[in-house]
Every structure is written in C-alpha cells, then in structure tokens.
Homo-oligomer: A and B are copies of this chain.
C-alpha cells in the first residue's frame, strides 16, 4: 500500500521547479504521487485547503501539508 502524496501547483515558475526537483524525487515505489494544477482544477481547491495548504507549490504527504518555497497564495487561484 503506497503512501499518498499530492503535489499542488499552479504552473508558475516556482511550481515547475519544485515539481521537477522535489515531486519527481519521491520514491515511486513507496509513494503514489498525484499532480494537481489548482489553476485548472479549481474543484480541488477545497481539498487542498482542508489539508492545510496555504500557498503553492505544496506537497501533501499522508495528509500533512509541506509548503515548498512560495509561488502564489491559494487565494489568488480562486478568481
């Protein structure tokens, strides 16, 4: 049973770098990595916020939020 890891991003340069370097570095044998573009999948914003995500890029591993550098606040993705 793999551990869920969701990488939330918005396509911003900071997000792309974090995806390329951090999300891609996770061990795919142990983690089920899902990539969610909150700018395109606005229906996922509520789930991200419920997990404690305040900004993107962020990685939610096993329910715990880890903000990686700073690209944009969640609020900017709602409009």
Which chain A residues have a beta carbon within 8 Å of chain B's beta carbons? 3, 5, 17-18, 21-22, 25-31, 59, 61-62, 64-69
Contacts and interface: CB of A to CB of B under 8 A. Distances in A.
A29 B26 CA distance: 10
Oligomeric state, in copies? 2
Among A21, A30, A67, A68, residue most surrounded by chain B Cβ atoms (within 10 Å)? A21
Contact of A21 (B21, B28, B62): B62
Contacts of A30: 25
Given A26-B26, A26-B27, A27-B26, A21 B68 contact: no
A5 B27 contact: no
Contact of A59 (B17, B22, B29, B31): B22
